[in-house]
Amino acid sequence: MIRRYLIIAVAVLGIAVAVLLARHGRRTHGEQQTMSAAQLAELTSLEPIDAHTHIFKSSTAFVGMLERLHMRVLDILYVDDTDSYLTSLSKQRDDASRFVESNADRARLCTTFDPFRFKDADFSKEAVAALNGDFEQGAVAAKIWKNVGMEIVDPAGKFVMPDDPRFEDIYHDIAAHGKTLIIHAGDPDEAWGIPSPWGFVSKYYDANPQWNMSRKPGAPQRKTILEATDRVLARHPDLRVVAAHFGSQEDHLDELAPRLDRYPNLAVDTAARVRRLVFQPRDQVRAFFLKYQDRILYGTDLHPFPATSEGPAPSEWENQYTLDWRYFATEDTFEYQSHKTQGLGLPPEVLKKLYHDNAARWIPGLESKLH
């Protein structure tokens, strides 16, 4: 009997771990990647910046890995009411701030506000006051997440969009303080039941049905969400905006290009989307990186689990950095998360912009001393 319970307990634990891994998409594929001494020297010489991480706990080994790679990180908060830990803004702010303050030469905070409070009479006033408090403490950016556009509805059942007038004072405030808005608006095609045009198969929406928009009656299309984002860009030409995940146009770089042309205050990050680029025609992706070399920030979306005893698994992070470097910097033919691809072999001056200069310019304060 006890044995049976044990087997059930182990199975339940296994499923929980698998679900957690799938949620955050950090399952490793293939063998451990190691950087050669020459590659490590090239990467560290750039003083690289990972402009998209979510770090809420740390360890000596993790910080040691960042130091060895000379990696700086932007540590981003976001309120997610579908995740027990991320529901609380104050808890994640405390945890991330502790990491940032104890690694002031490596990390900066990107704060956020709780969009679920949008119905409160004093919503924008309180959000602005809290953001300003974080800016005073050294936060260099603020984030708005995909629940705006894909989840939050007003009392009439209408989806709240990024250009909702209730966010206007917040955008003004971020621009007035010279900070950067990181926006994750929309998701890839699969969220709307449309397969990736390049054959990338995502299991994310099986593990996270709450983001499957094809199940939500009256949900806006991605195009509608991106158009709302574009109205924010047009209304606030003085607001620097970094659209995470290639602005959710990771599979449609040809559609992202005209947006970058139209809005000079828009840049994008690569977070968690290199795994989709590797499916696309190499020449097209390479041409995009060359043409928009001043507008793309390197980021990973790496995400340790605060809810478990597991640390940030430095080897797994390093694995991601190694794979990405091989893709961007070399012309090697290799397996990127089980998909055979050839590296882009970007020129050194473009790598320097991707890994350092663009983050430093689009997110001022990332490099300065904290106090």
| Region of 63-71, 189-197, 293-301, 338-346 interacting with Zn ion (CB under 5 A) | 293-301
Q: Which range binds Zn ion by CB under 5 A, 111-119, 133-141, 260-268, 298-306? A: 298-306
Q: CB nearest Zn ion: which residue?
A: 301
User: Using CB under 5 A, which of the segments 88-96, 225-233, 295-303, 335-343 binds Zn ion?
Assistant: 295-303
In the stretch 70-109, what mask flags binding to Zn ion with x, by CB under 5 A? ----------------------------------------
Supply the minimum distance, in Å, between the C-beta of residue 247 and Zn ion. Answer: 13
Sheet holding 240-243, edge to edge: 49-53, 72-76, 107-112, 141-144, 180-183, 240-243, 266-269, 296-297
The least distance separating Zn ion from the CB of residue 266, rounded to whole angstroms, comes to 18
Least separation in angstroms between CB 271 and Zn ion: 6
- What is the DSSP code (8-state) at residue 159? B
CB of 52 to Zn ion, least distance (A): 6
Site string for Zn ion, 242-281 (x = CB under 5 A): ----------------------------------------
- Interface with Zn ion (CB under 5 A), residue total 1
CB nearer to Zn ion: give 163 or 301.
Answer: 301
Q: Show the tokens assigned to 308.
A: 């478990």
Helix (H), strand (E) counts: the chain: 16, 10
Token reading at 182: 């990181």
Nearer to Zn ion, 25 or 345 (CB): 25
CB 28 within 8 A of CB 320: no
Cα 184–chain centre separation: 8
For Zn ion, the binding residue among 173, 301, 324, 357 (CB under 5 A) is: 301
Stretch that binds Zn ion, among 22-30, 95-103, 300-308, 345-353 (CB under 5 A): 300-308
Q: How far apart are CA 132 and CA 173, in angstroms?
A: 8
Closer of 124 and 180 to Zn ion (Cβ): 180
Q: Give CA–CA dist 211/214, Å, rounded.
A: 9
- What is the residue whose two structure tokens read 């001043």? 294
Under a CB-based contact definition with an 8 Å cutoff, are residues 188 and 202 in contact?
yes
Please give the Cα distance from 7 to 90 (Å, whole number).
Answer: 38
Cα 190 versus chain centre, distance: 18
Instruction: Find the part of the chain contacting Zn ion (CB under 5 A) among 101-109, 133-141, 296-304, 336-344.
Output: 296-304
In angstroms, what is the minimal distance from the CB of 125 to Zn ion?
Answer: 27
Contact criterion met (CB below 8 Å) for 294 and 354: no
Residue 254: Cβ within 10 Å count: 10
Residues contributing to the site for Zn ion (CB under 5 A): 301
